[in-house]
Structure 1
Amino acid sequence: MTPYGSFTFFFILVVLLAPTVILGLLGKRFHTYNMFVSIIALGIIFASSLNQAIALIIFTFWQVVLIKAYIAYRKKSNRNTIFYTAVILSILPLVVSKLLPYFSDVNLIGFLGISYLTFKGTQLIMETRDGLIKKDLPLSRLLYFILFFPTISSGPIDRYRRFNKDLEVGISGEQYKLLLYEGINKIFRGFLYKYIIGYSINHFFITNLRFIAHSHFQHHLYYMYAYSLYLFFDFAGYSAFAIGVSYMMGIKSPENFNKPFLSRNMKDFWNRWHMSLSFWFRDYVYMRFVFWMTKKKWIKNRNLLSNLGYLLLFLLMGVWHGLEVQYIIYGIYHALLMMAYNSFERFNKKHKWWPQNKLTHIVAIIITFHVVCFGFYIFSGQLFHKGV
């Protein structure tokens, strides 16, 4: 069963989370019960695919053993080779599951949410290396963090220390009432975004473009803007569901979107769009690459180093979506945009060519919106489909 994909799923959630709500309103602790709820929910989600269920179990065992082993090792030593090996082994199932469909019709490794679970596991190894996680993690909490069902399929990607803090902080009945209100509000926003606005854009406009557009150019232009809006409302709606259910369970999962179409530039956009993913790639790919290159003194030019970091980051982000040409070009496109804005920012800082006022703010939003929409048009693959 697809998470948040049917009203049946929401009905099951209401039944499963009723005790959580009652305990929360009474000021009682409910995390132990919620761990049980996660197991039941995962069983329901993966009930239709035994192969995926088995892959999830094996993957979880693999990640837990790696994390536990590396934490134990890190207390005694800190060799680079062991760290790199642990990271590679952590992401290996994801890499294999992404590549396997190009060579075989059967993918026994992949399962719903493998990317986001991998990000969590790899993050724990990296934070252990950095000294942010110094003690062994209780197995129950580690499993709960990795397998937290509201965000399993498409995020948001949480950080263990933030997640664990929510588990340790006691919540009074009044505090939970506010959390419950916010959670329900986010769930209703999810219905508005995904099942009303997103559905309407796709069903009434995109699917009828052949009757609406009067030329080949119009078809592509209308599709570009419609698809961009649909992508936002559909994904933001899903994220609202995941975050809302998390709130009901006492976990404040991070926000994923913050009015991205009001961004003033590309840096601002990536601080607003799919934030948990973009921040993950920023912290664990871009920042580490820049730090490593600076430490080794292999590239001394800061601007060149920053641009190479953007190229690596967005290429990886594009390839993560798939090896199809549209995803690779989408990654390169955004890397070039970030490089261009990097150069513009340095030039403007020196020459004050672009003034800061309300008019330029509005113009910047309009320009960024169109540039972003073209990126989503590339991402959609329509640009490479003949005869559309």
Structure 2
Amino acid sequence: MMSFDPYGNPTYFVLLFIALLPLMIGLLYGRRSHVYESIISFIFLLLTFGGVKWHTGIALICYLIYQIALVWLYSKYRQRPDSPNKGWIFVVSVILAIAPLAAVKITPAVSHGASSIIGFLGISYLTFKVVQTIMETRDGVIKEFHPVLFGQFLLFFPTISSGPIDRYRRFVKDYDSVPTRSKYLGLVEKGVRYIFLGFLYKFILAYIFGTRMLPVVEHAALQAHGISWALVGVMYVYSMDLFFDFAGYSLFAVGISYLMGVETPMNFNQPFKSKNIKDFWNRWHMTLSFWFRDFIYMRLVFFFMKHKVFKSRITTANVCYVINMLIMGFWHGETWYYIVYGLFHGLAMVVNDAWLRYKKKHQAQIPSNKFTEYFAIFLTFNVVCFSFLIFSGFLNTLFFTARP
């Protein structure tokens, strides 16, 4: 049986558009068939997790049953008229939701590089969706829980492998309704545009930067044995490759979602035009950034302020920035460069906030014009590219890996 990486093979797109055509015709005439959507979802999940990857498909099924049961039990507890909304039950539920992902992340570190048998492509993003649903259920934002709809939410195949990370209520609103003809035509127009832009990004620009240029500058940097202009080249080329590859994938996911009448949120918004590091995280991998902001950072701030851990609001915010970004670093992996990457961005957020406070206090003395705006963009771009050099792991290869 064939097995495809999502959006990684021209045959995948041919099969995809053949499968989507009846669904698109139905939406054009005001009808949505959940049965047909379920069938094509099953087929494309089978293409992703079947064949030689059959064991990951089994892991996905077990994971799905486990998480649906967990969220269903917690929602039943919260929907009771006399529900006390006890914090410890919420904490245990979140820990249980994270446990499979934690096992997958920890296993290679404790078993000499061996992968976990419960791991599969996209487990991180599904876990984010599960935890978000539990938290919003606890907050009373999600009033009703439907196991089948929740399963559709988790298994929505355009986004299952690498996001974007949608929100349960937003997804259900789209999935349970049919857009008007004019709105759907607008979605199709945008979806097709995003897909073609995705081809440009992922298969042309990412190929140029990642396949043609990156090996050349990496080889030159390794030959230079230390800090060199070639290393600067690695920094910029890797940053471009990372952006165009991931942004291209995200455009495919969003474009296909639009063709299915689901307005999956965008993941990138011209991140290299950011004027500061906080602006960058409002533009780069936005669904992940907003998830960490809403479900980790804001809740840490609330917890610390409620328990008066720090006297100063500024100190509270700074500590939470660092913790938040460190968790993001650990999420990427347990190797030192991912952790340093997270710490780097946490400290960058602290410095950025300090500068914004200083700038506000001394705005009469600090010029604000086109030059300062462009300089801010230039500075932010270079800070971000340096962080991506750390993230790439190339510094580990250059300075800490023995070479013949």
Report the TM-score range of the alignment, normalised by the length of the smaller protein.
over 0.9
What does residue 204 of structure 2 align with? 196
Check the 8 A contact 1:31/1:249 in 2, yes or no. no
Counterpart Cα distance in 2 of 1:382 and 1:212: 12
What does residue 365 of structure 1 align with? 377
Q: Deviations over 1:325-360 (max 9, x none)?
A: 100100111111111111111111112253322111
Identity value in percent:
48
Q: Tell me the amino acid that sits aligned with residue 130 of structure 2.
A: G
Check the 8 A contact 1:27/1:176 in 2, yes or no. no
TM-score scaled by length of structure 2: 0.93
Deviation at residue 386 of structure 1 after TM alignment: 3.2
Are 1:29 and 2:40 an aligned pair?
no
Matches of residues 300-315 of structure 1 in structure 2 within 5 Å? 300-315=311-326
**Given the alignment, which residue of 360, 380, 387 partners 2:392?**
380
Q: Deviations over 1:245-282 (max 9, x none)?
A: 11111110000000000000000000000000000000
**Given the alignment, which residue of 33, 45, 48 partners 1:45?**
48
Counterpart Cα distance in 2 of 1:210 and 1:69: 51
What does residue 139 of structure 1 align with? 147
Matches of residues 340-351 of structure 1 in structure 2 within 5 Å? 340-351=351-362
Check the 8 A contact 2:122/2:161 in 1, yes or no. yes
- Name whichever of 53-62 and 352-361 sits farther off: 352-361
- Name whichever of 112-121 and 15-24 sits farther off: 15-24
What is the aligned residue count? 387
Check the 8 A contact 2:153/2:168 in 1, yes or no. yes
What does residue 296 of structure 2 align with? 285
Structure 2 stretches lacking a partner, 5+ long:
none
Deviation at residue 385 of structure 1 after TM alignment: 1.4
What does residue 58 of structure 2 align with? 54
Q: Deviations over 1:116-154 (max 9, x none)?
A: 00000010000001110122x222211100110100111
**Given the alignment, which residue of 124, 131, 139 partners 1:115?**
124
Check the 8 A contact 1:256/1:276 in 2, yes or no. yes
Q: Tell me the amino acid that sits aligned with residue 267 of structure 2.
A: N
- Name whichever of 310-319 and 17-26 sits farther off: 17-26
- Name whichever of 37-46 and 310-319 sits farther off: 37-46
Root mean square deviation, CA, Å: 1.5
Are 1:99 and 2:106 an aligned pair?
yes
Check the 8 A contact 2:94/2:131 in 1, yes or no. yes
What does residue 73 of structure 1 align with? 77
Q: Deviations over 1:94-127 (max 9, x none)?
A: 0000011122324211100000000000100000
Are 1:316 and 2:327 an aligned pair?
yes
Q: Tell me the amino acid that sits aligned with residue 175 of structure 1.
A: K
Check the 8 A contact 2:103/2:116 in 1, yes or no. no
Counterpart Cα distance in 2 of 1:42 and 1:203: 28
Counterpart Cα distance in 2 of 1:133 and 1:202: 42
Counterpart Cα distance in 1 of 2:89 and 2:269: 38
Counterpart Cα distance in 1 of 2:90 and 2:243: 37
Counterpart Cα distance in 2 of 1:166 and 1:223: 42
- Name whichever of 233-242 and 356-365 sits farther off: 356-365
Deviation at residue 182 of structure 1 after TM alignment: 1.0
Are 1:327 and 2:342 an aligned pair?
no
What does residue 85 of structure 1 align with? 92
Structure 1 stretches lacking a partner, 5+ long:
none
Give the secondary-structure state (helix, strand or coil) at the position aligned to 1:386.
helix
Counterpart Cα distance in 2 of 1:61 and 1:234: 32
TM-score scaled by length of structure 1: 0.96
**Given the alignment, which residue of 258, 264, 267 partners 1:256?**
267
- Name whichever of 126-135 and 215-224 sits farther off: 215-224
Q: Deviations over 1:212-261 (max 9, x none)?
A: 77955022110000000110000000000000011111110000000000
What does residue 164 of structure 2 align with? 156
